[in-house]
Amino acid sequence: MSEHKRHTMDFELNPAQRDLQQRARSFIGTEVLPHYREWPVANSDYSPELNAHLKGKLAEYGLAKLIVPKEFGGQGLGPMEDVIVLAEFSKSPRRMPGGPFAPWPVLYQAPEKIREKYLYPVLEGKTGWSMCFTEPEAGSDLAGIRTTAVRKNDHWVLNGTKMWRTGHHFASYTAVAAVTDPSKGPKGISVFLVDNDTPGFTKSRDIPVIARQWGTEQEVRLENVIVPAENLLGAEGEGFSIAQHQFNRFRLRLGGTALGMAERSQELAVEYARERKVFGKALGDNQAIQWMLTDNQYDIESIRLNTYYAAWMVARGGYSASRLQAAMVKAYCVDAGLRVIDRSMQVLGGRGLAIEDYPFFDFHNLLRMCKQMEGSTEIMKIVMAREILSGELN
Ligand SMILES: Cc1cc2nc3c(=O)[nH]c(=O)nc-3n(C[C@H](O)[C@H](O)[C@H](O)COP(=O)(O)OP(=O)(O)OC[C@H]3O[C@@H](n4cnc5c(N)ncnc54)[C@H](O)[C@@H]3O)c2cc1C
C-alpha cells in the first residue's frame, strides 16, 4: 500500500451501510411520507392495525431489530448503522410505532428469569418500558435525587416522586432510580425494574409537551412500593453509571435525529427556492435566500460529520470512551438542526408555518424538546469542559 493510500481517510459509507440507508430512505419515501397525514399525530394514538401495518413494512424492508444482538434474534448492527437509519426515519414528522427506548445493554446480561419478564417481551414488540431518573427537585443534578429504596428481607421498598416519565403509553414497567445508600453520593444510587401495576406506583398527572407527536409525559408517585430483590438492575450502587451509559447512547442518537430533520428541511427549502417565482425570477436567485441555503449546508455537513465521527468512536471504543463526542453531538447538532429548520421555514414564507402541509413545526418542537432531554446543552458543555480540561485528550 502506498504511503498516500495508508493516510487517506475514507468518508464513504460502506456498501452494506449504503444499502441500509437506501432501504430506510425508500421505506420513509414510499410507506410514510405519502400517507402520514391520514394517521393520528401521536404514535400513542395509532390503531393496532396501523401499528401492525408499519411493523410489517419495517420487517419487509429489513429494518426491524437493527441493534438487537444477533444472539437475541436481531441484526446486531452498530451505532453507525443506528444513526444512519434514525436520520432517514427522522425525515418523517410522525414517529414509528412503539416505545422510544431500546433495551439497555445491562438487561441483556440479567439473569434469564428477568430477561424472560422484562427483555424478551420488549424485543418481540409486545410491550415497552419507561425510565424514571428525574424528580421534581433533581433533573440536571441527577445525584440529588431523593427517592429511596430500602432493603427488607427479599424485597426493596421504594418511596418518592418522579417527573417526566416518557413512553408510558407503551410500557408495562419502569426503570426507577433510587438512593440505596445516602452516604455514597452518586455511587449510592441503584436502578430497579418496577411493574407499572405495582400497588403504590401511581400517576400524579399528565404533562403535555410542545412536541405533539410525542404524546404526554407523566409525573408519578411511589408510596411504599414493594419490588422483589431480583429486580435490582445490575449491582447495587451502579445506577448512576448505568444512567450515564444510557445517556451517552441517546446523545449520539440525537445526532441522527437532527441530521434527518435538517436534511429534509433543506430538501424542501431548495425545492421551493428553485420553483417559486418572485419579482419575475426564481426565489433562489436572490442572494439573501442563497445565503440561507448555504448556511443550512454548513450546518448539515457539520451535523453529519460530528455524528458519524462520534458513532465511529463509539464503535471503536464504546460509550464510556466517547463521552466528549457524545456530548458534542448533543450540544452542537441539536442547535445546528434547529437553525436549519428555522431558516428553511423562512425560505418557504407562509407555507413554512402550515403545520399540516409541512413538517417544520413538528421537527422544530421535537428537536427543541431534545435540547433539554438527555442532558441539556449547558450540562453537555459541563461534560465537554471536564473532558477537555482533563488533559487526556489527544
Ligand atoms: C420531553 C421530556 C422527556 C423527558 N423524559 C425523561 C424520562 O423519560 N426519564 C427521566 O428520568 N427524565 C426525563 N426527562 C427529564 C430531563 O432529563 C430533564 O428535564 C433534564 O435532565 C433537565 O432537568 P430539569 O428539567 O430538572 O432542569 P434543571 O436541572 O432545573 O435545570 C434548569 C436549567 O438550568 C440549566 N442548568 C442546570 N445546571 C446548570 C449548571 N451547573 N450550569 C449552567 N446551567 C445549568 C439546565 O441546562 C436547564 O436549562 C425528560 C424531559 C423532557 C422535557
Measure the CA–CA gap between 308 and 330, rounded to whole angstroms: 13
Inter-residue contact 31 to 59 (CB < 8 Å): no
Domain with CATH 1.10.540.10 in the chain: 3-100
Q: Is 126 helix (H, G, I), strand (E, B) or coil?
A: coil
Closest of 198, 191, 214 to residue 104, by C-alpha: 191
Architecture of the domain delimited by 110-233: Beta Barrel (2.40)
- Distance of CA 334 from the midpoint of ligand 1 (Å): 15
- Distance of CA 195 from the midpoint of ligand 1 (Å): 25
Q: Which protein residues are within 6 Å of ligand 1, measured from CB?
A: 130-134, 139-140, 164-166, 209, 217, 369, 372-373, 376, 378-379, 382
Measure the CA–CA gap between 190 and 187, rounded to whole angstroms: 8
Interface pTM (ipTM) of the complex? Answer: 0.98
Q: According to the CATH classification, is domain 241-389 in 1.20.140.10?
A: yes
Closest atom of ligand 1 relative to the 379 alpha carbon? 47
Domain with CATH 2.40.110.10 in the chain: 110-233
Segment 155-196, tens digit of pLDDT: 999 999 999 999 999 999 999 999 999 999 999 999 999 999
- Distance of CA 380 from the midpoint of ligand 1 (Å): 11
- Distance of CA 140 from the midpoint of ligand 1 (Å): 5
To test the pocket of ligand 1, the residue of 129, 133, 134, 166 to mutate (highest count of ligand atoms within 8 Å of its CB) is 134
Segment 315-346, tens digit of pLDDT: 998 888 889 999 999 999 999 999 999 999 99
Closest atom of ligand 1 relative to the 140 alpha carbon? 29
The domain covering 3-100 belongs, at the CATH homologous superfamily level, to Acyl-CoA dehydrogenase/oxidase, N-terminal domain (1.10.540.10)
Q: What's the pLDDT score for residue 1?
A: 47
- Distance of CA 209 from the midpoint of ligand 1 (Å): 14
Closest atom of ligand 1 relative to the 374 alpha carbon? 17
Residue type, 111: P
CA dihedral angle for residue 301, residue 303, residue 304, residue 306, rounded to 10 degrees: 120
To test the pocket of ligand 1, the residue of 44, 104, 137, 140 to mutate (highest count of ligand atoms within 8 Å of its CB) is 140
- Distance of CA 240 from the midpoint of ligand 1 (Å): 16
Domain with CATH 1.20.140.10 in the chain: 241-389
Sites in the chain below the pLDDT cut of 50: 1
Inter-residue contact 333 to 258 (CB < 8 Å): yes
Q: How far apart are the first and last CA of the chain?
A: 26
